Amino acid sequence: MRQNYKSLHEFIARLEEEGELIRVKEEVSPILEITEIADRVSKSPDGGKALLFENVKDHSMPTLINAFGSEKRMAMALGVNNIEQIASEIKKLIETKPPQKFSEKFGLIPTLFDLIKIPPKKFKGTTAPCQEKVLTGDNIDLNKLPVIKCWPMDGGKFITLAVVFTQSPETGKRNTGMYRMHVYDKNTTGMHWHIHKDGAGHFQEYKKLKKRMEVAVAIGTDPVVTYSATAPMPPGVDELLLAGFIRKKGVELVKCKTINLEVPAYAEIVLEGYVDPEESRIEGPFGDHTGYYSLAAPYPVFHVTAVTHRHNPVYSTTIVGKPPMEDCYMGKATERIFLPMLKTINPDISDISLPWEGVFHNCAIVAINRRYPYQSRHTMNTLWGTGQMSFSKMILAVDEGMNIHNYSEVTKHILNHIDFSKDLFFSEGILDVLDHSASKALFGSKLGIDATGTEILKCDIPNMPSDKKILKFAKELSSDVRDISVPVKNVKSPMLFISLKKRIPNAGERIAQSIFNDSRSAKFKIVVIFDEDVDVKNISYAVWKFFNNVDPKRDFHFIKEKLGIDATRKWKEEGYHREWPDEIKMTDDVKKRINDIWGKLGISDS
């Protein structure tokens, strides 16, 4: 039986019932302190617990965060015991064949009844919960919401878990998306529509018509609606249909009070308003899911014409940054749920994995049923032309049957099979707007790695000196070397991570060449160079840096059949003329304040 929640309140009750919720009664500020607490919890084993802050400084409204931040809670949010259950239902629907016999038609009746239930439906009560209180005119004040400032260099406070509703003026089709909102004052925010998203497409349609665009924002919807707003649905397909499919029940909608849009009737809070296509304002910076700040830039302005909410609303929010965080579990759910759809585009795909370190658009690992030479290249090119997979910067292909979710196993396989002369190929294409590695915004190089096939490199596994000796050799070659790490042992193509104080342009390529030329370290086949502040012994952190900072065509240097990779911050002298973003870090004073009250939060013994 599918567990459905009409509202966020019902989901909170279930979380508490399952021991997945901590009520924090100590007073905590929405300015940075909630972030620091939630960040620590989300990085604890299995994602920690959901947190309900009941005493938010200067606010009466409780704040929920990390509600989706574990594999268990993500499944609970979607009403199943295992996310694969939803993927299986989608697979079954996709594979449904037209009935030929009466018995087959009869067998389709349950499926048809399920599909009839999924479209959104009109709320039939007297007063929708989301409209129990209606505020307009001078009574509108966004500052009464416990909106958080996530990170120290953020441009202000941001609404981060907003379900945004827009409608095409040309087709009338609805889009349900999730976009952050920079709160400027009591009744205006930024509207951060990424250029590739459907919301931005609707905005462009209104801009051509020179008409105001009505926008509705729901905060604290039932968890399936919240998740569906993040899902990579095909253009023009209503995300609320996905929500209805997952819930086995259509989402109840109610018409807004001041605009002609509909919103989920059981939402906690709704913001109604409009965007003027001729108006923009600087939005950001914002500490984003890449672990870096997305830069300030002009974006449309959202004017609030009404705020409606329940009598006892809960404010729902999230933070993003260096993985793992709450959004990682939401992204993993998408990986599993949308795999059957991906297989319909390319049936050779048997599985896909999007590592957290690749922040979902920097790296994809795909297992394929290989039937002919260079099939992996066909698969990669297909993925680079498919929806949001087109943003993938690096794609690795392996044979069907390998456990691509065991990254240690995959890495060892690559380092025992990779032939630089034929297994790497470069392409170019669009990149996610948050990718900072490329010399041009939104466009850069891509890398395909073909690790299919069973042919093992024709060489022995070399005997390697100790890490201590390798560090000594490296420092003798350059006094700028700070530390080293050998992330994978006992492979045919050994790899070396080096952190380096970068003093001159192209220092990464130079030190890699020195390593390869020196007889003491010549056994290394791959050298990856990082900046001195990178802890290369923290492999997950270093790999995250690699995926973020590398533009493959520019930063891969082939030296005597070996490979040097420059994962350092790029300079103007190296042909990089954009502004390189800062890495997200919390301030020491906030960390100390949270250390001082940590024992009072009720988290330590959870």
Residues designated as active site: 288
Q: How confident is the model at residue 114 (pLDDT cuts 50, 70, 90)?
A: low
How many Å apart are CA 81 and CA 8, to the nearest integer?
A: 19
Contact 359, 432 (CB under 8 A): no
Contact 401, 451 (CB under 8 A): no
- What is the chain's Cα-based Rg? 25
In this structure, the number of other CB atoms found within 10 A of the CB of residue 54 comes to 14
Maximum Cα interatomic distance, the chain, rounded to a whole number of Å: 81
How many Å apart are CA 160 and CA 209, to the nearest integer?
A: 29
Paired strand residues for 367? 351, 398
Half-sphere exposure of 514 (CA within 13 A, CB side): 18
Residues 33-67: pLDDT tens digits?
Answer: 999 999 999 999 899 999 999 999 999 999 999 99
Pairing of strands 162-167, 213-219: antiparallel
pLDDT given at position 587 = 98
| Confidence check: pLDDT of 105 > 80 | no
Residues 508-532: pLDDT tens digits?
Answer: 999 999 999 998 888 999 999 999 9
H-assigned helices in 281-390: 326-337, 339-345, 375-383
| Confidence check: pLDDT of 548 > 70 | yes
| Confidence check: pLDDT of 103 > 50 | no
pLDDT given at position 108 = 41
Contacts of 294 (CB under 8 A, 6+ apart): 284, 285, 286, 288, 433, 434, 581
All domains of the chain, ordered by start, with CATH?
8-96+120-316 (2.30.110.10), 346-450 (3.40.1670.10), 467-574 (3.40.1670.10)
How many Å apart are CA 334 and CA 447, to the nearest integer?
A: 23
pLDDT given at position 116 = 59
| Confidence check: pLDDT of 270 > 90 | yes
For the chain, count helices (H), then strands (E). Answer: 18, 28
Pairing of strands 315-316, 213-219: unpaired
Percent of the chain with pLDDT over 70: 96
Burial class (CB in 10 A: 0-12, 13-18, 19+), 290: buried
Q: Burial letters for 393-403: b for 16+ Cβ neighbours within 10 Å, e otherwise?
A: bbbbbbbeebe
Contacts of 42 (CB under 8 A, 6+ apart): 48, 66, 69, 319, 324, 325, 326
Mean pLDDT computed over 176-192: 96
How many Å apart are CA 16 and CA 412, to the nearest integer?
A: 42
Contact 155, 288 (CB under 8 A): no
Residues 370-429: pLDDT tens digits?
Answer: 998 889 999 999 999 988 899 999 999 999 999 999 999 999 999 999 999 899 999 999
Residues 222-246: pLDDT tens digits?
Answer: 999 999 999 998 888 899 999 999 9
Contact 569, 582 (CB under 8 A): no
Residues 292-342: pLDDT tens digits?
Answer: 999 999 999 999 999 999 999 999 999 999 999 999 999 999 999 999 999
The residue among 457 and 83 whose pLDDT is bigger is 83
Q: How confident is the model at residue 360 (pLDDT cuts 50, 70, 90)?
A: confident
pLDDT given at position 106 = 40
In this structure, the number of other CB atoms found within 10 A of the CB of residue 533 comes to 11
| Confidence check: pLDDT of 605 > 80 | no
pLDDT given at position 111 = 47
pLDDT given at position 98 = 57
Residues 68-78: pLDDT tens digits?
Answer: 999 999 999 99
H-helix or E-strand containing 279? strand 269-283
In this structure, the number of other CB atoms found within 10 A of the CB of residue 318 comes to 24
Average per-residue pLDDT for the chain = 93
Q: Is the pTM of this model over 0.85?
A: yes
Closest alpha carbon to 220 in 309, 132, 149: 309
The residue among 454 and 470 whose pLDDT is bigger is 470
| Confidence check: pLDDT of 180 > 70 | yes
| Confidence check: pLDDT of 365 > 60 | yes
Contact 182, 286 (CB under 8 A): yes
Q: Cis peptide leading into 169, omega within 30 of 0?
A: no
Torsion angles phi and psi, residue 503, rounded to 5: -110, -25
- Structure-block tokens of residue 396: 């690795």
Mean pLDDT computed over 571-575: 94
Contacts of 516 (CB under 8 A, 6+ apart): 522, 524, 527, 559, 560, 562, 564
